[in-house]
């Protein structure tokens, strides 16, 4: 093992008022690196504006040594290039830098890695040792074991591959306020449109109902919504359904969408292209509803219903009543 002291920094993703659930699998990965590295501390970095709620929710989480806080009006809305310039100098004191491989993480960390002049370990699914990880390649068709010799390991973590961090909540982490560096960005915040939904977040949902091109229209997605509401699930979609405008693109599951691993995944009118399967094949139970008995989705489904979704879904909804 390297002589350098091992220190881990987790960059927290949040809404300014609340910590996102995707940070907790990252803390699990961080604790695994810490175990491999022997004596090792885990700090978290919170950059935002009026982040007191986030700080409070993390200060009692076991295993966190320090909460580094950059609270500044300019960070009310994250602009990745500006946030990356804040992170890079702080990262110099650490051996590992982690965040969730969400859209935010994928936008932010390559910039941080470039500023630090190191490579990035992207979307890791397993920790082998303090410098070696497993990550999927070729849309999840192969797993690569990657060893990094970089002085700072910049890592994004696949949320669905790690258990959420369990804590007794008995900690009392030290808060350290950090003055922001001068903002150096060519980007300007214009506006943000947030989709509000009563349903669980797609990445963290226990049940996901996804619709594909077979659903046929935006209106027909009401059937998927009804099923999701009855099962308390989130709604997903194939890229074909998104491209056709049936649903918004934040619902896309797959290689270029969200990676999910719920207890139950119901694929309705989805053929099972490898790019879609890459985003949901780790689901515990997979149910496929498709009129084509040869559809590849049946190769990975635990339960397959061959038939017309417009017959099967109303029957299923009636049974659930």
Q: Which is nearer to ligand FAD, 257 or 304 (CB)?
A: 257
> Is 270 known to sit in a ligand binding site?
yes
Angle at 111 (CA atoms; ends 124, 184), nearest 5 degrees: 150
**291 is a contact residue toward ligand FAD (CB under 6 A):** yes
Minimum CB distance to ligand FAD, residue 156 (Å):
17
Q: Which of 28, 120, 125, 271 binds ligand FAD (CB under 6 A)?
A: 271
- Tell which positions 201-220 bind ligand FAD, by CB under 6 A: 212-214
* Closest C-alpha to 119, from 107, 106, 110, 130: 110
> Is 169 known to sit in a ligand binding site?
no
Q: Which stretch binds ligand FAD (CB under 6 A): 35-43, 144-152, 201-209, 237-245?
A: 237-245
- Element housing 289 (H / E): strand 285-290
* Closest C-alpha to 292, from 308, 278, 280, 303: 308
> Is 253 known to sit in a ligand binding site?
yes
**140 is a contact residue toward ligand FAD (CB under 6 A):** no
> Is 50 known to sit in a ligand binding site?
no
3-state secondary structure of 83: helix
**227 is a contact residue toward ligand FAD (CB under 6 A):** no
Residue nearest ligand FAD, CB atom distance: 254
Give me the sheet containing 303-306, strands edge to edge: 234-237, 207-211, 264-268, 285-290, 303-306
The answer to whether the CB of 83 falls within 8 A of the CB of 108 is yes
Number of residues that bind ligand FAD (CB under 6 A): 28
Q: What's the start-to-end Cα distance of the chain, in Å?
A: 59
Minimum CB distance to ligand FAD, residue 252 (Å):
5
Minimum CB distance to ligand FAD, residue 142 (Å):
16
Angle at 128 (CA atoms; ends 168, 285), nearest 5 degrees: 70
Number of neighbours of residue 118 by Cβ within 10 angstroms = 18
**304 is a contact residue toward ligand FAD (CB under 6 A):** no
Q: Which stretch binds ligand FAD (CB under 6 A): 37-45, 78-86, 145-153, 306-314?
A: 306-314
Per the annotation, where are the binding residues for FAD? 213, 238-239, 252-256, 269-276, 290
């Amino acid at each position: 093992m390297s002589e350098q002291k091992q220190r881990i920094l987790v960059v927290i993703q949040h809404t300014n008022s609340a910590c996102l659930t995707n940070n907790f699998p990252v803390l699990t990965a961080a604790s695994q690196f810490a175990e491999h590295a022997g004596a090792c501390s885990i700090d978290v970095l919170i950059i935002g504006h009026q982040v007191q709620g986030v700080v409070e929710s993390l200060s009692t989480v076991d295993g966190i040594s320090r909460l580094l806080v950059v609270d500044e009006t300019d960070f009310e809305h994250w602009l990745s290039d500006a946030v990356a310039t804040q992170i890079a100098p702080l990262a110099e004191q650490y051996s590992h830098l982690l965040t969730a491989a969400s859209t935010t993480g994928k936008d932010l960390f390559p910039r941080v890695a470039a500023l630090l002049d190191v490579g990035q370990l992207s979307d890791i699914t397993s920790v082998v040792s303090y410098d070696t990880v497993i990550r999927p390649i070729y849309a999840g068709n192969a797993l690569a074991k990657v060893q990094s010799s970089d002085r700072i390991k910049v890592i994004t973590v696949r949320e669905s591959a790690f258990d959420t961090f369990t804590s007794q909540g008995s900690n009392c982490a030290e808060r350290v306020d950090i003055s922001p560096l001068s903002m150096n960005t060519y980007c300007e915040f214009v506006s943000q449109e947030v989709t509000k939904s009563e349903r669980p977040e797609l990445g963290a949902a226990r049940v996901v109902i996804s619709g594909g091109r077979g659903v046929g229209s935006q209106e027909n997605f009401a059937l998927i919504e009804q099923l999701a509401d009855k099962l308390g699930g989130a709604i997903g979609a194939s890229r074909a359904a998104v491209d056709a405008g049936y649903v918004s693109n934040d619902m896309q599951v797959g290689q270029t969408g969200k990676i999910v691993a719920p207890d139950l995944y119901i694929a309705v009118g989805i053929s099972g292209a490898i790019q879609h399967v890459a985003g949901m094949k780790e689901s515990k139970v997979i149910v496929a509803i498709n009129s084509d008995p040869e559809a590849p989705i049946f190769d990975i489904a635990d339960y397959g219903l061959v038939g017309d979704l417009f017959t099967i879904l109303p029957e299923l909804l009636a049974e659930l009543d």
